[in-house]
Amino acid sequence: MSTGMASKYTLLPEDNRVDVGAAPSQGLIRRVIKVFLCITLGTALAIGVHNFQTVLSAVDGPSATQDEPGAVSRCPTNIPLAASPPVPVNLWTPLTVSETYNISSWLSAPDRNLNLTRGDRAGLADNFIYLIEAYPPSKTAALAYLDQTANSSVSPPDRYARVTLHEGAAREPVVRDYLVGPLPVGEDTTMRPLTEIYHRPDIPYNARGYTVPFSELSPLLLRIMTPLAEATQELFGGVALGHANDTLVAAAIGPYSFDGTWRRAWLPLRRNVPGQWLHPVGFFLYVDFSGTDTSNWSLLKIVYNHQIFDSTDSFLEAFHNGTLRRLPKRPDQEPHHSLLLPPSSAPPGRPIPSSAPPSLEWSTRVRPRTAPRDLSELPGPRQISTGGARFRLDRATQYISWMGWAMYLGFGRDMGMSLWDIRFLGTRLIYELAPQEAIAQYAGNDPMQTSTAWLDRFFGMGSAVRDLLPGYDCPADATYLPATTHGHAGSLTRRRAICVFEHDTARPISRHTGYAPGEFGAVKGYVLIVRSISTVGNYDYLQRTVVFDYIFHLDGTIEVRLSASGYLQAGYWEPAQEGYGAAIRETTMGSLHDHVINYKVDLDVVGLRNTLLATRTAQEERTAPWFDDDWGSTFVQQKITREYITSEDDARLVYPENLQGIYALVNIEEENSWGMPRGYAIHPGYSPVHNTVVGSKRLLRNANWAKYNMAVSLRKDTEPSSSSMWNLNLPGAPPVDFDQFFDGENITQADLVAWVNVGTHHLTQAEDSPNTRTNLAAFFITPLNYFDADMSMDALNAVLLSPPDNPGGPWGVDEYGVNMGHCVPAAIPPLEYSGVLGFDVDGKPAAAATSEQLRREAEMYHRIKIEL
C-alpha cells in the first residue's frame, strides 16, 4: 500500500535515465525546505499537522544509496502483458452484435415461415425473437479441441446459437427455444427445437419473459387507478394517472403463475420518489393478465389495511360511506420530517437532489447532514503495483493467466460471467465455474411479502450487469473488460462489465516464528480477483446488487465470493408485522427473507474420473494401556471417518453439524506421493446457508437445489444448469426440475459436477437503511491431498529469517531477490460514468437513452409507472 504524494519527489524521466548535470543540488533544496518547515512548526502544530517528523523524513527522500538521492521513478504501467492462450478460440465467448444481426436476419427470411415481427415493435400477440445468445459446445468436443497436441491438430467445434422465440401469434401462444447453426450463417445453417435440456417440451406463454412491463400493464393499471384517484390522493397524497409527474408507481410481485395456466400478480403501490422500494403505501392490487388479449385482463381484488375488496366500486363505496378503516398517518413520509442534523451542520457543497425533499432524503444515498468524521476529508489508502501488472491477458479471447492460474471468461444473459477451462500449474482443475440461480423468498403479513419468491435468472443477471466504478467497485488501475448481451430490442454493451486485478490481502498466506534455521518466515497473501456486479431491481449482486468475485490464491485455492447490497423490499410496519422483520423507520419495515445463490462447479480432478468423498469427525471414547491411575485409562477424542458416496440419490447434501466434516471430489485411481487419493474439497465459507422454507407452493419444484448446501450429480450436456429463466413462473411444472437430475445413477469414478449454495438469512435491521451493506457469502474450492505439500511455498514474494550469529545482533533476512520497489503512481483520472452502448435489432448504434429510460429498463417489474 502506498499513500505517498508524488509532489515530495523528483521524477526520473520515463526511460529511467537521469541528467545529473542539469539537476540542481537536492541536498541544498532539502536544507532550505527544512529551515522553512522548522520556522513554521508552531503554526503547523496549531492547525493540526500530524506526524511532522514523517514530513521531514519524506523531504529527505529515499536512501542516499540511489544514484540521485530523492529521485523516484514513475510506477510502471499497469497494463497487463500479453497472455498466450492454449488454443486461439474461446469456445464460450458471447456472440458479437454483427453475429446476432446475421442470425436475426436469417430467421426473419420468408422461407423460415416464422412470421416474425421486429422485437422493438412487437406486441404480445406477435411472433418475435426474445433472445439470441451463444450455445456452448459439448464437453467432449470442447476437450478434444482444448487438449490437442502438436501432433494432432483439431479444429474448434462448430458454433451454435440458442434462440428464444415468443410465438404470441400462434393459435396456442407458446415460448420455444431453438438451436441455430453452425455459425456463421451460411448454406449449412439450420434450426431445430432445443428441448433436450428441459423437462417439458415447451414453455406456456403465461410464463413468458418480460418485455416492457410498464407499457404491458399500463392500460390495465390506468383503468384501475383512474377512478381511485380521489381516494389515493386523500389516503396517500398521490395518484397514478399516466402523467409525467405521477406520485405513485406500482410493482409486480412474482411468481406470476404456478403451472402456466394463468398469469397473475400482486401489485403494491409505492411513492414515486428516489428509493421508492422503501416507500410502500400499504395498498395492494391483485390482477389477472393472462393471455394476449389485454381487454380480458382484470382486477381481481384490492387489499388495504387488511380489508379485502373485490372491485374498485366496493372499495370506493367503503371510502365514501366512512366504513373504510384507514391506516394512521406516516410521520416518516411527512414533509420536513428528518432524523438528521439541521442544514447548518451540513458540510459546504453537499449536493441535494432536487427530486428528493428533505423529508425523503433518508431513502437516498445523499450524504446525511452530519459533521464529517475526523480526517475523513483525506483520501484513504491506495494500493499500487510498484512492478506493474503481474497477470497476463489476451483481450481477443478474454484469457487470463496469473501465478500458475489460467482461464477463459464467458458471459451470458441469464447469469452473467462464467469461467471455463480453469487450470493451475498447467493442469485443468475445473471445466466450468458459473452461477446458476439466485432466489429471494420473503415473509410478512401482507399480500406482497407473503407471496414474494424471486428467481433472478428470469430478469437476466447478465443483462443486469452494470459498468463498474473505478476506485469504488474495483481499484482505479484495475483492468476492465466489456460484455455484450442481446435481447428482443437489440444489444447492450457494458464497457466496464468485468474487472481483473491483483490484490494484497495484507495478511500472509502462511507464516511461523521459529528459532532454528529455516523455521521463521512468511509468504505474502496475494490473490487475483475477477469481478462483475449485477443490479436486479432493488438489490445489487454485489438493489438486489450482487458482486460476483472469483478469487485465486497462490496455494491452488479458489474462493467464490458473493456480496449483496442495495435497497430492501420494504413493507408497511405495524404491530401485525411483528416477527416478520424489523422497523427501519416509524412506519416502514424491512422484511425477513432468505437469499440463496447456486453455483455450478464442474471439477475435473486429475481427469474426468472422480468420486464423491464424505469426510466427517465424531467423538469416541477409548482406553489405552499406557495410561495409569493418575488420569485413568479412559480418554475421549475425535476420529475421522471417510466414506465414498456411490449413488446420486445420496448426493444431495447438508453440511455436517458444527461443520464437522467436508465433501470432496477425488480421483481414487490417482494418489499423491504419500498414498492419498488426490482431490479437491469444497469448504463452506461465509454464510453457508440453504433455504429455510420447504414446501411453499411458490417454490414447490422450481428451486429444489436450495434445500441443500450442495449436491453432486453426473455431469451431462443435457443438464447444463440447475434452473432456467422460466422457472420463476412455473414452480408447479418447471422447465428444469433439479430433483430429476438425481435418478440413482452410480457416481463412482465418473465425470461429476457439484452444485454449491451460498447465501444469507437476512434478519433485517435499522442499519439496512437506506441500503444494506455488502454482506458476504462464500465457499472455497481447495486442494485435498492433490499436491505433496503446500504449493504456496514456492512463491518468491516471501521472506525467510535466520537467527543472529551473536546475541542481540540483527536477524538475517532473505526476500529471495524481490525488491518491493518504490515509485510514484500515475494520477487517478476523474471518475466518469458513461453508461451503456446500445445497438438496435439491425446492429446499428442506438440513440443514447435518457436516465428515465435506463431506469425503466433496469427496474422492470420492480417499478411500473403508468404511461399513456
Summarised one tens digit per residue, pLDDT across range 723-750 is 999 999 999 999 999 999 999 999 999 9
Per residue, what are the HEC states of 570-608? EEECCHHHCCCEEECCCCEEEECEEEEEEEEEEECCCCC
The CA distances from residue 203 to 108, 167, 693, 703, 730, in Å, are 22, 10, 26, 17, 9
Record the pTM.
Answer: 0.89
Residue 801, pLDDT above cutoff 80: yes
Give CA torsion, residues 827, 831, 835, 836, to 10 deg.
Answer: 10
Residue 94 exposed, middle or buried by CB count within 10 Å (0-12, 13-18, 19+): buried
Grid coordinates given for 197: 435440456
Exposure string of 351-387, with b = 16+ CB inside 10 Å and e = fewer, is eeeeebeebbbbbbeeebbeeeeeeeeeeeeeebbee
pLDDT of residue 859: 74
Which one of 130, 286, 399, 539 is the catalytic residue? 539
**Sequence letter at residue 235:** L
Return the H-helix or E-strand segment holding 60: helix 52-60
pLDDT of residue 149: 85
Grid coordinates given for 701: 419444484
Q: Chain-wide mean pLDDT for the chain? A: 87
Q: Residue 821 — very low, low, confident or very high, per pLDDT cuts 50/70/90?
A: confident
CB 348 within 8 A of CB 369: no
CB 482 within 8 A of CB 500: no
Exposure string of 482-497, with b = 16+ CB inside 10 Å and e = fewer, is bbbbbbbbbbbbbebb
**Sequence letter at residue 192:** R
Residue 477, pLDDT above cutoff 50: yes
Report the distance separating Cα 68 and Cα 685, nearest Å: 50
Q: Which residues lie across from 181 on neighbouring strands?
A: 190
Report the distance separating Cα 208 and Cα 215, nearest Å: 16
Length of the chain in terms of residues written: 868
Q: In sequence order, which residues have a C-beta less than 8 Å from that of residue 650 and are 6 or more positions away?
A: none
Give CA torsion, residues 218, 221, 222, 228, to 10 deg.
Answer: -160
CB 285 within 8 A of CB 304: no
Q: How many CB atoms lie within 10 A of CB 804?
A: 11
Residue 53, pLDDT above cutoff 70: no
pLDDT of residue 852: 78
**743 catalytically annotated:** no
- The answer to which of 255-264, 478-487, 570-579 has the lowest mean pLDDT is 570-579
pLDDT of residue 544: 56
Report the distance separating Cα 496 and Cα 500, nearest Å: 10
**67 catalytically annotated:** no
The CA distances from residue 172 to 7, 265, 291, 436, 835, in Å, are 72, 22, 9, 30, 40
DSSP assignment letter at 223: H
Report the distance separating Cα 762 and Cα 765, nearest Å: 9
Exposure string of 127-165, with b = 16+ CB inside 10 Å and e = fewer, is bbbbbbbbbbbebebbbbbbeeeeeeeeebbebbbbbbb
pLDDT of residue 334: 64
Residue 221, pLDDT above cutoff 90: yes
Name which of 284, 208, 249, 97 is nearest 841 in CA terms. Answer: 97
DSSP assignment letter at 2: B
- Identify the three-state secondary structure at position 394: strand
Which domains, ranges and CATH numbers included, belong to the chain? 6-72 (no CATH), 97-207 (3.10.450.40), 213-328 (3.10.450.40)
Residue 850, pLDDT above cutoff 90: no
Q: Residue 344 — very low, low, confident or very high, per pLDDT cuts 50/70/90?
A: very low
DSSP assignment letter at 508: E
Which one of 332, 421, 456, 737 is the catalytic residue? 456
Predicted confidence (pLDDT) per residue in 599-656, tens digit: 999 999 999 999 999 999 999 999 988 887 788 889 999 999 999 999 999 999 999 9
- What is the arithmetic mean of pLDDT over 393-404? 97
Residue 865, pLDDT above cutoff 90: no
Residue 153, pLDDT above cutoff 60: yes
